[in-house]
Structure 1
Amino acid sequence: MTRASISPLAWLDEVEQQRRTAGLRRSLRARAPAEDRLPELDLASNDYLGLSRHPHVVEGGIRALRTWGAGSTGSRLVTGNTTLHESFETALAGFVGAESALVFSSGYTANLGAVVALSGPGALVVSDALSHASLVDACRLSRARVAVTPHRDVGAVDAALGERTESRAVVVTDSVFSADGVMAPLSELHAVCRRHGALLIVDEAHGLGVRGDGGRGLVAEVGLAGAPDVIVTTTLSKALGSQGGVVLGPAAVRAHLIDAARPFIFDTGIAPAAVGSALAALEVLIDEPWRAGAVLAAAAALAEACGVTEVPPSAVVSVVLGEPEVALRAAADCLERGVRVGCFRPPTVPEGTSRLRLTARASLTADDLDDARRVLIDVLAAATA
């Protein structure tokens, strides 16, 4: 058999079988409209503040849609920038205490744009071993030398920066790590960065709306809001219930990203409807600062139901079950009983740590939590028997 007679995609069959055998095959599950499906308690989405269907947020998107149309029509440097985009940037920067903000089409592209544009050849990038995939990809694209340090190991970051020969250095980390919900030691990391003259980039995707005074994020909570050597990235698709990403920091950084960040320059601008919804969600959060505390209270209740002894510092409750098949079965059992939970398997998490990932919401009621408790206690007892 010649090479020409073999499909260039034949190798995919073997890879798929390997994934199936390992319990790592993934599939898409389409959600039907709420009115067309059986009642279901959602403990899987990242809608932390319960705002994605909030009337004010939905109306904000509708107003933007009617005013600006369905799409942004081009990159923000051509036709995709509106006064709405810039109003939102000003409002969000003011809320978190940053000098300026720049909206991207997603949190993923915001991380790519910030890390790559602020590092590059001749720089060192130091990344936590459990940084989000978008930060990992940004490191790979940066063409900088990359040092991956053990999870939350400030000493290792200090050593990496101390040994560098590069003139510039950037340290990247999540503020709240998405798989287990633990917080980065931001104060300690910043002290190390400042001692070595390094820039700190913090992804607040899971911190905004949950940590800090009124949900201003972990960077603000530890007193680093507006620091000249700290850049914050975040997404609009979690606490703000919309879609998009943003980079926050000094005005000079915003100007540099407009000139140098390829995901900003060459990507179509975020649709105005998403910006309108995000701005409306921010207005709700400002008017109702109790929502951040409500998320943490709900997370504590879910953790207790799952037998997790440590009180979660974020919206994420991680229940490690071990092998992928065990976690998959437990997630399926929960869904059969009307509770949807996340299921994280390798490569998202390390081998042997497949888990259920539950996410709390400010809008969960006492009845919701009671229903979740009954299901989780039964399912986890069977899964760990």
Structure 2
Amino acid sequence: MRLSLVVLRPILLVVMFAGMAGAHATTLRYATGYPPGSLPAVAAENYAKAVEKYSSGDLKLRVFALSLLNASETSDGIRDGIADGGYLLTVYFPAMYPHTNLVNESAMQLLLFDEDELNGKGALAYEGAMTEFTFFNCPECLEEYEKQKQVYTANAASSSYGLLCNKPVSNQEQLKGKRLRVAGSHWSRWSEHFGATSMSLTINDTLEALHQGVIDCTIASAPELINLGLIEAVSDITMSVPGGVYAGANAGSFNIDVWRKLDEKQRQAILRAGARFTAETPWSYLQLEKEALEKTEKKGATLHQASPDLMEASREFVKQDLNTIIDYYAKNHGVERGEEMLDTFRGLLKKWVGLVQDVDSLDELETLYWNEVFSKVDVSSYGMK
């Protein structure tokens, strides 16, 4: 049967416009060092959906979970254009991101807040304070990213860090001589203060190290039991120490040349989606924490509480270590404003502890981060110099 041109023309126009729409969409490669199915990888997939949604389909992200770049390759990989963007853990690159790491390493100060004051929302507060501080109070942080040909557009934070071990470690005596994998020099100093040996390993090497007895514990958040499969190697858990969260993650680190080629609508979409990503990581970590601990306990692991003397000694350590952080980064990395930076951040953290108390859902947290932080970033100039 032959179709007339009158019948064909609408069909051809639909096909043509569909092709044009597809041709105009930009797809960027996004890398995360976490494996498929892990919480950060799922959050990255949701981030990609949010970018597409807020750009009205004009911008898309293709997520590569532990395939394009691993955690230790991410910074150079984004800088060199292997990926257009990714989930950057600054702790692996102390010389490249000292100002960011300095503030991240003050996270154990959450131990100094009253538990009733935090109300289980310390990670949400720290995430908000870290994001606001980076965007608006730390030009040095943004310059660090620019030197690596990157731009900061979102943050990520974990739930509280504790001891995930293959033997009981809940008091000062048990800490002595233990080998602890750490994710920051503050936790390294805490370990060594109590007679343990700190070891630096990437997240991708932790499970094997626990299995083989290379380390006795990893200082990490409870969801990593599931995210990294540590549930298979951990037999004893003490979550009350050393405390703090990991928040030195540029969850939306984009190659700066890629960023500058995007139009303002696309950059705005990335920031709007960034508010969602910034909210989803700590919120999801807090939701997964209980599940991870319950599953690990069912597999035979024992949950411990830190002894009162270890808790008190840890709080005293944190008070002293805030000064140590300032001196360490001044001496080793040339950070000149350390004391001023931590004073500013401490004020922001207190503000955010109050702001997050009425948040009862992920959507509410996203809206709070957007209204208080991301919406105030000027996309016409940010990252464009």
TM bin (shorter chain) = 0.3 to 0.5
With the length of structure 2 as denominator, give the TM-score of the two structures: 0.33
With the length of structure 1 as denominator, give the TM-score of the two structures: 0.33
More helix by share: 2
